[in-house]
Amino acid sequence: MLKIAHHTFQSKLLLGTGKFPSFEVQKQAVEVSGTEILTFAVRRMNIFEESQPNFLEQLDLTKYKLLPNTAGAKTAEEAVRIAKLAKASGLCDMIKVEVIGCNKSLLPDPVETLKASEMLLAEGFIVLPYTSDDVVLAKRLEQLGVHAIMPGASPIGSGKGLINPLNLQFIIEQSSVPVIVDAGIGSPKDAAYAMELGANGVLLNTAVSGAKDPVKMALAMKLAIEAGHLGYEAGRITEKNYGEASSPTTGMVTS
Amino acid sequence: MLKIAHHTFQSKLLLGTGKFPSFEVQKQAVEVSGTEILTFAVRRMNIFEESQPNFLEQLDLTKYKLLPNTAGAKTAEEAVRIAKLAKASGLCDMIKVEVIGCNKSLLPDPVETLKASEMLLAEGFIVLPYTSDDVVLAKRLEQLGVHAIMPGASPIGSGKGLINPLNLQFIIEQSSVPVIVDAGIGSPKDAAYAMELGANGVLLNTAVSGAKDPVKMALAMKLAIEAGHLGYEAGRITEKNYGEASSPTTGMVTS
Amino acid sequence: MLKIAHHTFQSKLLLGTGKFPSFEVQKQAVEVSGTEILTFAVRRMNIFEESQPNFLEQLDLTKYKLLPNTAGAKTAEEAVRIAKLAKASGLCDMIKVEVIGCNKSLLPDPVETLKASEMLLAEGFIVLPYTSDDVVLAKRLEQLGVHAIMPGASPIGSGKGLINPLNLQFIIEQSSVPVIVDAGIGSPKDAAYAMELGANGVLLNTAVSGAKDPVKMALAMKLAIEAGHLGYEAGRITEKNYGEASSPTTGMVTS
Amino acid sequence: MLKIAHHTFQSKLLLGTGKFPSFEVQKQAVEVSGTEILTFAVRRMNIFEESQPNFLEQLDLTKYKLLPNTAGAKTAEEAVRIAKLAKASGLCDMIKVEVIGCNKSLLPDPVETLKASEMLLAEGFIVLPYTSDDVVLAKRLEQLGVHAIMPGASPIGSGKGLINPLNLQFIIEQSSVPVIVDAGIGSPKDAAYAMELGANGVLLNTAVSGAKDPVKMALAMKLAIEAGHLGYEAGRITEKNYGEASSPTTGMVTS
């Protein structure tokens, strides 16, 4: 169970809603994934433009919590403004803080992320910052009182998976709030890996929406997250350099 | 569906039976894993010693196919002798050829493996050789007529996962018989990865039997294999070095 | 040539002075390494205690610049205090800002590192902050006016080498001040790799002082850094998945 | 010192002669690299066609030993025929056995490589087989009596470096003849890594000839190989997951 502030979720998969080939495919992928949290860029939603098609309209909002993000913000102030827009819609009380500090790598700005998180906490938001895998930065965010930490596995949309599992593990071990690995997941093995390290959830978008068959990939991710979480709980074997027979050497058949 | 010679299986997980903490745990893990193929070292089974406890007796052999292996063999002749012992039990027509050529790394001997496979094919066995990830060796084995190729991901019992995914991918791409990744799997992410590369199955033992909770790990592996297979079919995104936003940049909220 | 503020150096190796088995071994390693910059923890130096042995006394300070670090500091204020102690000795005008934010991983605190760097710049120091590989944090530090950026390759003393070469490459590409890869180097290949990515220098300590033969390792590192730098300048080949013959296929010998 | 049969060499770098942009660049790269062993595909050399330009003519053959290879051979018999052609030139007594078994990956054929090696040993050649990193295959080749083992780091020309350092280490540890890592080296760090594992030499071609500046890369490789070899002899530190300060915590400066 994933618990963020007063919300509880059975699913550990947070699904982004960008770049699906069609609303229909998106809808099916969402359903198949079992997700209970949908994320989207506020700037991209026509929340206030009723004349335009809107994915949110297609959803049964009793089944999903919305996690709008502040993508597009380059400063804390912009992030706060976007967050307030989202809240004003009455659709959500959670906000993913996303303040990008580098247009090339799309990596987050630690200073503005800290500042935006602090401001939004003061405004009473449930705050989930997207952050780099900087271990002490994650601790700082937690000390501010954020409700979950969302470190990136690798650059947004890169599909490179977990480049630095050691840092993610440090973040997970030190955190008393949920850690949701966000960004960079490319395939089911990556989602499983994040969960095996003890993450509380995984946020995905491009890995599903950009797959050849997004609906099938949504199911693959659902299973991978369950597999990884069970693997974490089950306690994996230690790595060794040298082989070790799975069969005892006593009791051998003799000729 | 995994098809080996005339056998067909729904499950893509082949489970080894060594080193479980107890018969009871083993039995539960087997059931939970959904496996339809159980592997075991012939030398370790008291097939012909009725006075001793025997895991096979506990099994409903209408539900599982047995895949005995020739572990302990250092030459083709020994492997053939062990295979014949197994067949004489009347319990199985498949044999996993396992001829270890290095006591330290437990890596297989390519020459004896080729020779044993050839001899066993001539005797009418269904032959599944455990082999290194040598790409041309795998092709050679296939040319002999083996019924599946079982390349190792890393040394037996090491839990190091897929050290050389490139070689595994070459083997999978060139093979017209099933490729079952065998040995070295440490955690669910590894099993998922093998399947994402297009493997037809994964053979596991220590990763499950050596986990703190083998039954839970068996379930994790079952799900990971399904996830990886679905991920393969769904067609993953390409890796990129640079970030790419999942949200289109048009239609932004303007202040 | 490495240029930091008004200092110029032929060597690209910065050598730490901690944990050598003896002053004599340290002295030889320093000489063999060709380094021109020696780093040390101010807290560890008996700069003001003339009665005690002091490595610095053994050095010809016309040959080496000193780069004291603020190890032991947990806040910007402590770092500034330590830096001032170092400057008061009259031995140095550079300071490596090191503010650790996690006792377990020894990873740096981004907030206090930024703050300490800003304070020290205001005091006229030549400031070289040790930082994580957070890409935007590195940019922020550069914007403050620091004289070099020192991202860690992996945790101090871990010897794990470059865990995230992608982030290091982003930092190097965006920087107009020197980037010196610091912490985590384990062996010559790691030092070469950092330089191949385009780093301007490498800071080492444990990899040399903790080697079985520190003097020989010092020479190995010197050569590795030259090799990596030349490799960067020479422009390496692109990686491919598939083999490509180094011999043209025309003009073949015919039978 | 590298010792192959009765030959001894100061340099541990074996340089291939394919695909250089010009004879002049090749000549300079060869000189700068310090190599004493030049490899080339017999099929590509106009050994017997005096009317055509020939790189070998440009060389001072008192300074270099030639290591012709059997590239182009797909069977042991073809390899033997090519080797005899090379020997008939009177220019060399060593032969690199290269029997490719897969046109896509250019990976070697273990069966034909074993057979060719055996045949050439019987003919009195000094035999250096290019092989995969199959550990037991390497042992088999050694048992035949070959004079050096040449495992690939990754596919020829791929520049992917050491994909499976574990297998290379097993091969190095078990071998009583020189191990020369061959194929796949992309940059100096890779050459250093091979030597750090204890390899006796490295064979390179595309990494140098395909670099933007082949002459500079030749020097980089020379230094990297020295660095890696010294690093091996110096005894590197053990990897740890957690940080460890290079400065003792006693004797701290107190306020």
- What subunits touch chain D, counting only 3 or more CB pairs under 8 A? B, C
Give the span between the Cα atoms of B75 and B99, in whole angstroms: 6
* pLDDT mean over C198-225: 97
Query: Taking CB atoms and an 8 Å cutoff, what residues of chain A touch C171?
Result: none
Q: Measuring CA to CA, which residue among D254, D236, D235, D248 is closest to residue C55? A: D248
- Chain A interface disruption, residue of B33, B48, B77, B189, most A CBs within 10 A: B189
| Dihedral-angle region of residue A9 (phi above 0 means left; psi in -120 to 50 means alpha; beta otherwise) | beta
Residue D116 falls in which region: left (phi positive, over 0), alpha (psi -120 to 50) or beta: alpha
Q: Please, what is the average pLDDT of chain C? A: 90
Beta-carbon contacts of D94 under 8 Å, excluding residues fewer than 6 positions away, are D4, D5, D7, D65, D66, D67, D68, D125, D126, D127, D128, D147
What digits encode the pLDDT tens for the residues C10-54? 999 999 988 899 888 999 999 999 999 999 888 776 555 555 556
Predicted local distance difference test score (pLDDT) of residue B74: 95
C93 touches chain A (CB under 8 A): no
Q: Are C72 and D252 inside 8 Å of each other by CB? A: yes
Q: The sheet that has D126-131: what strands, in order across it?
A: D150-151, D126-131, D94-97, D65-69, D37-41, D13-16, D201-204, D180-182
Instruction: Write down the pLDDT at residue C195.
Output: 98
Please give the C-alpha separations between residue C120 and each of C74, C83, C90, C125, in angstroms, as whole numbers: 15, 8, 16, 6
Provide the pLDDT for residue A135: 97
User: How far is D51 from chain C, CA to nearest CA, in Å?
Assistant: 14
Instruction: Specify the 3-state DSSP secondary structure of C153.
Output: coil
B·D CB contacts under 8 A: 84
Q: Which amino acid is at B104?
A: K
**Residue C206 annotated as lining a ligand binding site:** yes
Residue C88 predicted with pLDDT over 50: yes
Tell me the two tokens of residue D226.
């020295």
Cβ neighbours for A124, distance < 8 A, ≥ 6 positions apart: none
Strands A201-204 and B2-4: unpaired
CA A81, chain centre distance (Å) = 22
C152-191 residue pLDDT tens: 999 998 999 999 999 999 999 999 999 999 999 999 999 9
The token pair that represents B123 in the structure block: 């005797």
**Residue of B65, B87, B96, B222 marked catalytic:** B96
Dihedral, B199, B203, B207, B211 alpha carbons, nearest 10: 120
Q: Is B139 on the interface with D (CB under 8 A)?
A: yes
Return the minimum-mean-pLDDT range out of B98-112, C55-69, C145-159, D169-183: C55-69
Out of D41, D188, D214, the one facing C228 most closely (by C-beta) is D188
Q: Do D243 and C155 touch (CB under 8 A)?
A: yes
Of C71, C81, C247, the CB nearest to D71: C247
How is residue B11 annotated by DSSP? -
- Out of B104, B134, B167, name the one closest to residue D137 (CB): B134
Instruction: Give dist(CA C35, CA C28) in Å, integer.
Output: 11
User: Dmax of chain C from CA atoms?
Assistant: 83
**How high is the pLDDT of residue B8?**
95
Q: Which residues of C are catalytic?
A: 96
Q: Give the pLDDT of residue A235.
A: 97
CA angle A106, A140, C180 (to 5 degrees): 60
Window 99-118 of C, Cβ < 8 Å to D: 104-107
Position A246 scores a pLDDT of: 66
Q: Are B7 and B65 in contact (CB under 8 A)?
A: yes
What is the rounded distance in angstroms from the CA atom of residue B157 to the CA atom of residue A79? 49
**How far apart, in whole angstroms, are the C-alpha atoms of residue C111 and residue A115?**
11
Q: Was domain D2-234 assigned CATH 3.20.20.70?
A: yes
Mean pLDDT of A35-47: 82
Query: In terms of Cα–Cα distance, which of A85, A86, A149 is closest to A117?
Result: A149
Closest D-chain CA to B160:
D166
Asked whether the predicted pLDDT for residue C109 surpasses 80, the reply is yes
Residues of B in contact with A158 (CB under 8 A): 239-244
Q: Do residue C212 and residue D235 have CB atoms under 8 angstroms apart?
A: yes
Q: What pLDDT score was predicted for residue D115?
A: 97
SS3 (DSSP) at D188:
helix
Phi/psi for D187 (5° steps) reads: -155, 170
D157 annotated as ligand-binding: yes
Does residue D86 sit at the C interface (CB-CB below 8 Å)?
no
CB of B107 within 8 A of CB of B127?
A: no
Question: Is B201 in the A-facing interface, judged by CB distances under 8 Å?
Answer: no
User: SS in 3 state form for chain A?
Assistant: CEEECCEEECCCEEEECCCCCCHHHHHHHHHHHCCCEEEEEHHHCCCCCCCCCCHHHHCCCCCCEEEEECCCECCHHHHHHHHHHHHHCCCCCEEEECEECCCCCCCECHHHHHHHHHHHHHCCCEEEEEECCCHHHHHHHHHHCCCCEEEECCCCCCCCCCCCHHHHHHHHHHCCCCEEEECCCCCHHHHHHHHHCCCCEEEECHHHHCCCCHHHHHHHHHHHHHHHHHHHHHCCCCCCCCCCCCCCCCCCCCC
Closest chain C C-alpha to A231 CA, distance in angstroms: 24
Range D135-143 average pLDDT: 97
CA dihedral C194, C196, C197, C203 (to 10 degrees): 20
Place of tokens 């839990």: B159
> Which residue type sits at C125?
F
Give residue-wise pLDDT tens across range B166-185: 999 999 999 999 999 999 99
- For D52-74, what is the mean pLDDT? 80
pLDDT on residue C241: 81
When the pLDDT of each residue in chain B is averaged and rounded to a whole number, the result is 90
Of C211, C227, C244, which has the smallest distance from its Cβ to D234's Cβ? C211
In whole angstroms, what is the distance from residue D67 CA to residue D37 CA?
A: 6
Size of interface A-B (CB pairs under 8 A): 272
* Contact indicator for C69, C44 with CB cutoff of 8 Å: no
Contact B164 D164 (CB under 8 A): yes
Binding residues of A for 1-deoxy-D-xylulose 5-phosphate: 157, 183-184, 205-206
Contacts of C135 in chain A (CB under 8 A): 101-102, 105, 107, 132
ipTM: 0.91
Interface test with D, best of B105, B111, B136 (most D CBs within 10 A): B136
Query: Chain D closest CA to C114's CA: distance in Å?
Result: 21
Confidence of residue D249 (pLDDT cuts 50, 70, 90): very low
Phi and psi at residue B239, to the nearest 5°: -75, 140
**Mean of pLDDT values over A40-56:** 65
Cβ-nearest to D237 among C40, C159, C237? C159
Q: Does B39 touch chain A (CB under 8 A)?
A: no
d(CA D70, CA D72): 6
| Residue C229, helix vs strand vs coil | helix
The 3-state DSSP class for residue D189 equals: helix
User: Can you give the residue ranges of every domain in chain D?
Assistant: 2-234
A219: closest CA of chain C, how far (Å): 29
Distance (Å, rounded) from C-alpha A192 to C-alpha B231?
Answer: 12
| B157, burial (CB in 10 Å: exposed 0-12, middle 13-18, buried 19+) | buried
Is-above-0.90 flag for pTM? yes
Length of chain A: 255
Q: Got the DSSP string for B188-254?
A: HHHHHHHHHTT-SEEEESHHHHTSSSHHHHHHHHHHHHHHHHHHHHH-PPPP-SS---SS-SSS---
**What tokens were used for C59?**
């050095």
Q: Taking the CA atoms of chain A, what radius of gyration do you get in angstroms?
A: 20
Q: Are A72 and A97 in contact (CB under 8 A)?
A: no
- On whether the CB atoms of residues C87 and C125 are closer than 8 A, the answer is yes
Q: What is the H or E stretch that residue B38 is in? A: strand B37-41
C128, pLDDT greater than 90: yes
> What is the model's pLDDT at position B253?
41
Check residue C101 and give its pLDDT: 93
> Angle CA(D186)–CA(D190)–CA(D193) in degrees, nearest 5?
170
pLDDT band of residue B51 (cuts 50, 70, 90) is low
Closest-CA distance, D161 to chain B, in angstroms, reads 12
Strand bridging mode D7-9 / D2-4: antiparallel
pLDDT per residue over B101-132, tens digit each?
Answer: 988 889 999 999 999 999 999 999 999 999 99
Residue window 178-197, chain B: list those with CB within 8 Å of chain A: 186-193, 196
Q: Answer whether B160 sits within 8 Å of D166, measured CB to CB.
A: yes
- CB-CB under 8 Å, D157 with C243: yes
Touching partners of C (3+ C-beta pairs < 8 Å): A, D
- A75 shares contact with chain C (CB less than 8 Å): no
Which chain C residues contact residue D235 at CB under 8 A? 211-213, 217
Which residues of D are known catalytic residues? Answer: 96
**What local confidence, expressed as pLDDT, does residue D89 receive?**
82
Give whole-number Cα distances, A109 to A37, C86, C135, in Å.
Answer: 24, 32, 8
Q: How many angstroms separate the CA atoms of B48 and B71, rounded?
A: 17
Nearest-by-Cβ selection for C213 from D205, D226, D233: D233
Residue A108: closest C-alpha in chain C: C136
CB within 8 Å: C166 and A155: yes
**B134 vs A: CB within 8 A:** no
Six-digit token string for C144: 């403050």
The answer to whether B174 faces chain D, any CB pair under 8 Å, is yes
Alpha carbon of C14 to those of A168, A206, C200: distances in Å?
29, 42, 11
Distance CA D33, CA D28 (A): 8
Please report the pLDDT score of residue A47 as a whole number: 56
Q: Does B169 touch chain A (CB under 8 A)?
A: no
- One-letter identity of residue B152: G
